[in-house]
Amino acid sequence: MSVIIWHKFKSKIRCFTAQGSKPASDWAKMGIIIDNDANEFLDEVVSRIRSYLDGTDNVTNFIPQSSLRKITDLSLPLEGLGLSNTIRDIDQFLKYSVKTNLPGFMNPLWGGFNIAAFAGEIIATLANNSMYTYELSPMATLIEQALIHRMCEMVGFPDGNGTLTTGGSNGNMIGMMCARYHADPLGQQRGFNGENLVCYVSAESHYSVLMAANVLGIGFDNVIKVPCDLDGRMRVDKLEEEIHRTRVNGQTPFCVIATSGTTVRGSFDPVKDIAEVCSNQELWLHVDAAWGGSCLFSATYRKLMDGIELADSVCWDSHKMMGLPLVCSAFLIKKPEILRKVCSHGNVAHYLFLGDAEEVDLGRTSLQCGRRNDALKLFLAWREKGDAGWARLVENYIDLANYLQAQVESNPNLEMMSSRVWSNVCIRYTSADIDHNIVNKTLRQQLVKTGNFMISQSNIGDDIILRPVIANPSVTKETIDNLVEEIVSIGDDIVRGIPFSN
């Protein structure tokens, strides 16, 4: 028997061929088998997954970084430590990881656990394809195309296209790149003088817009933050004023980025009105729907993005409200040829794009070369749930957010800090004669240390606020009751000056 031990990794994984001499074609089919030790290892890993999902831990197991560093072996050894050590490393990792699957995890704009998507993630890693060519990723290519096509349909881009990206930040940058190409197609060859190009965002937009301006050489000064109304929506009258002012200054407006679902308040800019301004002014309209895009599933809430079909490009994160494992995010564009032009640097890759599958080689519409398969998990989850399942998920989140708001409004020690339409609930603890900012900041720190909940702290104007967000399928009314009780109890203790045990 011909057995090749894979010495390099000293693992128990072996390559083998069947007995006897074999024709050359069979060598190509040489498999990988795993022996008993490796099988046991896999069983151990699966048991870790099961107990993690059993959810008996706290959300946080808070420990200062200096202490965690002391009790964790971070050395990279000369000689490998073997698979039994791998299990110990996994245990240490999981013990101190924030348990984002638990209902008390209400911190960023994502959380929970989707088992079909989880399976998709594992299987995609098992297959380990790269998304640049059809030849290398036949199934994944077709799946990604089907997803992009469906998402384009949902935003109202019947002839649109797009790509899966590393997240909304990346999607916003590609949107800005497409807008810049649209304004100055020759610049891609010649180079751009960013200082003359100006874009407009709401004052409450995500910071990734600044990142995009930085990367693309637009410059922070040329990202105009348009003031918002009391509900956190971009003011269209102010947008028009700013565009006028820019033109008078001799600069060139090139793009408006509207937000559907702002990070802190969950506000939706008036896309339809903004689109009208963009159309009159011949400006590209990109919509950052990283957080709010999932409203499109719901007949009740899709009106929040009224006019989205008038946009030129959209980004939409499935790893936020839809609960897909990070990362899974779509960039969608109405006129596909612009994305293709923006990504035309790939045309020189004669070693990759062989010409016979140009239309289906997704590397031609991506900024990445090697790219992981984020499509399979979304595909499996979507087929498992269906549009109706996503709609129920979204609507349930908003119902729960309404419930949380009602609890806050009926509690004398809590107050709402913003109006709301989405599942962001901006609140603070309140009492007579306290420094609200100090109390709420301390309260949040204590809440995280206690370990049952993780919620976010943010600012609205000069006020520090607490922002639980409902984006986790395991949250129930009971979770919310417990959250409210714990916030009030910790707040009361701070105000009474009672020291905490941990």
Ligand X SMILES: Cc1ncc(COP(=O)(O)O)c(C=O)c1O
Binding site for ligand X (CB under 6 A): 109, 167-169, 206, 208, 259, 261-263, 288, 290-291, 317, 329
Grouping H, G, I as helix, E, B as strand and the rest as coil, residue 314 is: strand
Query: Closest separation between CB of residue 87 and ligand X, Å?
Result: 31
Q: Which residues contact 225 (CB under 8 A, 6 or more apart)?
A: 201, 202, 203, 205
Minimum Å distance from CB 415 to ligand X?
Answer: 24
Number of C-alpha atoms within 13 angstroms, CB side, residue 474?
A: 19
Alpha carbons 163 and 144: distance in angstroms, whole number: 8
Of 288 and 374, which CB lies nearer to ligand X in the complex structure? 288
Kindly give the pairing relationship between strand 13-16 and strand 329-333. Answer: unpaired
Q: In the block, which residue shows the tokens 């109202």?
A: 156
Handedness of CA 245, 247, 251, 257 (dihedral sign): positive
Closer to ligand X by CB, 320 or 364: give it.
320
CB of 490 to ligand X, least distance (A): 26
C-alpha R_g of the chain: 26
SS3 of residue 348 by DSSP: helix
| Residue 60 buriedness (CB in 10 A; 0-12 / 13-18 / 19+) | buried
Q: How far is the CB of 374 from ligand X (least distance, A)?
A: 12
| Comparison of 162 and 491: residue with beta carbon closer to ligand X | 162
CB of 328 to ligand X, least distance (A): 9
Per-residue tokens: 120: 């998709």
How many residues are given for the chain? Answer: 502
Burial of 435 (0-12, 13-18, 19+ CB in 10 A): exposed
